[in-house]
Amino acid sequence: MRQKLKTSVIGSYPIYIDTLDVIKDYFSEQQTSWTKYIDQAVHDMTSAGINFVSDGQTRDPFIQLFTRNLRGCRIRDRTEILGPVQYTGPITEPDQKYAKRLLPRNTGLIGVLTGPYTLMKSSLDFFYHDEKQLAFDFAAALRNEAELLLKHVDLISIDEPFFSNELPDYAKELIGTITNGLSRPTRLHVCGDVSRIIPQLVDMPVDILSHEFKASPYLFDLFREYSSVKKMCVGAVRSDDVIVETVEEIVTHVKKAITIFGDTVVQIAPDCGQRMLPRDIAFLKLQNLVKAGEIINGG
């Protein structure tokens, strides 16, 4: 009998930040608190019945979330690299700790890290003039954060969308810098068209691969010959389309994935972070994902 499928998110969740409220706090000399936004994100995910949730990444877009807290980085319009990138202390850990307290029993928490290659490619480098060295310094910093997260989260997920644009020849070593020897399962999420890099992806030092199979169903056929190599998180609802997939549509999609990947399909999720969707749509998509998961699992 196959292991039950788990439902998961990828990372971000759309929460409206009430900036008038934020500025009123400033004028009344109160410090800005982000916990209510984490509350809302986690509440939606857990209400929908998702098995593996995130903190929603409500605080910042996924690049700034990390670069804002690393030495050597400066954010004005974009992230600029002005010195050696170094870890100076917790980045997402306080939010993860807080999110953990909100979870019902048997709900897992994902520690989401923006990948080092994506951080490097999204920054303006005025210091290194050496992409590889900068990427590895980001990776070393993220490794520190990952180790800190281990005691709070159930899964470490690395988000590397830039791999679908270009995969450096040091990609495996780079990801391994973060994942090697970690005591929790690891996942690599690469959205976009990964058709050219599948052999390299299945060789990555992670436990689970996550891709946008819903927006790019042609990936099923391309992955077929590597189908039993890695555990898979199958994108089953789109993150770039406000049309809510029906439960039946999701079930059909996931069953197709199972015919190809068999027992290696361990998670189903949105194709990517849901940040760009309206909140009500994001929620409905998660609800239908959960219902589809229950049907697949024979519930």
Partner 1 sequence: MFSFTKEQKVFDISGISVGGQPGMHPTVLFGGLFFKGEPDFDDAKQHLQTIFDLSKQTGTPVIPDFFVRKVEYIQPIIAFIEKVIPKKHPFSLDIIEPSIKIETLELLAEKKLLSRTIYNSIHIGITKEETEALQKYTPELAIIVAFNPKDTSPDGKIEVLENGAHLTECGLLELVRKIGIEKLLIDTAALAPGENSGAAIAALPVIKEEYGFPAGCAIHNVVEKSRWLNDFPFAKKTVDAASNNAIPLFGGDFAIFGPIENAPLVIPLMAWQDILVSEYTENYFGVSPVASHPRRKLLK
**From the CB of 100, what's the least distance to partner 1, in Å?**
23
**Does residue 86 touch partner 1 according to CB under 8 A?**
no
Number of residues in contact with partner 1 under rule CB under 8 A: 22
Q: Is 245 exposed, middle or buried (0-12, 13-18, 19+ CB in 10 A)?
A: buried
- Tokens at residue 226, please? 């590597």
**Residue 276 binds partner 1, judged by CB under 8 A:** no
Joined together, the tokens standing for residue 116 give: 């080092």
Farthest CA pair distance, the chain: 61
For partner 1, which residue of 75, 150, 242, 276 counts as binding (CB under 8 A)?
75
Q: Which is nearer to partner 1, 22 or 242 (CB)?
A: 22
Shortest approach of partner 1 to residue 132 CB, angstroms? 26
Q: How many residues does the chain have?
A: 299
14 DSSP 8-state letter: -
Distance (Å, rounded) from C-alpha 77 to C-alpha 230? 39
Q: What is the DSSP string of 168-207?
A: -TTHHHHHHHHHTT-SS-EEEE--S--GGGHHHHTTSSSS
Q: Which stretch binds partner 1 (CB under 8 A): 67-75, 87-95, 117-125, 153-161?
A: 67-75
CB atoms within 10 A of CB 111: 25
Site string for partner 1, 2-31 (x = CB under 8 A): ---------------x-xxxxxxxxx-x-x
Closest contact distance (angstroms) between CB of 30 and partner 1 is 10
Q: Which is nearer to partner 1, 112 or 254 (CB)?
A: 112
36 binds partner 1 (CB under 8 A): no
Q: Which chain residues interact with partner 1 by CB under 8 A?
A: 17, 19-27, 29, 31-32, 59-61, 64, 68, 74-77
